[in-house]
Amino acid sequence: MTEKLHTPVIAWFDTHARDLPWRRPQAGPWGVMVSEFMLQQTPVSRVLPVYEEWLARWPRPADLAKEAPGEAVRAWGRLGYPRRALRLHGAAVAITERHGGDVPTDHAQLLALPGIGEYTAAAVASFAYGQRHAVLDTNVRRVFARAVTGVQYPPNATTAAERRLARELLPKDEGTAARWAAASMELGALVCTAKNEGCGRCPIAAQCAWRLAGKPEHTGPARRGQTYAGTDRQVRGKLLAVLREAHAPVPQAALDRVWHEPVQRARALDGLVTDGLVEPLPGGLYRLPLS
């Protein structure tokens, strides 16, 4: 069964894969790692301009490691989930200190870097170094849920059963496995999408368990929505925007102007301080972190 999936999906990928900068040879392992941090919960269209600026400014981990972590937060712009910027900065420092400035090839060493979990370690090892690892993001999980398990959506959180299935589906050959990881991810991003599955364009539609079952409706737990307006996330974003645009410490009054509700505003600011994204100073001033 596995080869019947591998061959058509990889052939489709060879023809339809997007030309993305982190897929080009000149991106190198660091470019792949930067893209993986940025693409978590953020669409490609928003990542592209920030990615290009980031790599132009910090082409190697050591270049980023020399800067204050607040500069990483500033350059992150409005990508969202800005703690990723701090984690990427921390990873750059560790790569510089532990690995001579080169992104490690070993999966265990990647996993030991700060801010890197199982998915990112597997993705970097696979996409940057062509190694054989199961790379399970939301798109891949959805493709596997439909094509193999026969359900519309995967569970809200990755399960042991999904990891086991991903390992079972992994091609034996290392190079083919790395290609399969990229191809199955692209298929989920472009064709087998969450809202509008394109079965007429899918290379494995004829053997998709969900389609063959008549596309039964999702019966599991309600899928989590991505609400933003009026949330603490929105307030945090507004507060960070003020600090990113300022190159000197910002008084409390300047932050107070960006959100009308004082309790929520204070909670959001406290959260930013706790997360290390904002540094409070004497006299009621705030800035992006310097250390």
Quick one: 159 and 69 in the same domain?
yes
Q: How far apart are the first and last CA of the chain?
A: 52
Residue 31 has what pLDDT? 98
DSSP state of 132: -
Q: Is residue 3 among the annotated active site residues? A: no
Catalytic residue among 36, 162, 197, 279: 36
Q: How far is CA 187 from CA 132, 235, 252, in A?
A: 19, 35, 47
Sequence-distant (≥ 6) Cβ neighbours of residue 284 within 8 angstroms:
251, 252
Domain count, the chain: 2
Tell me if the pTM is above 0.85: yes
- What does the pLDDT look like over 174-198, one tens digit per residue? 999 999 999 999 999 999 999 989 9
- What does the pLDDT look like over 76-114, one tens digit per residue? 999 999 999 999 999 999 999 999 999 999 999 999 999
Domain endpoint, select from 220, 246, 272: 220
Residue type, 250: V
CA 44 – CA 255 distance, rounded (Å): 30
Quick one: 30 and 146 in the same domain?
yes
Q: Please choose, from the candidates 206, 210, 266, 214, the residue with its C-alpha nearest in 3D space to the C-alpha of residue 235.
A: 266
Its domain, for residue 248, covers 232-287
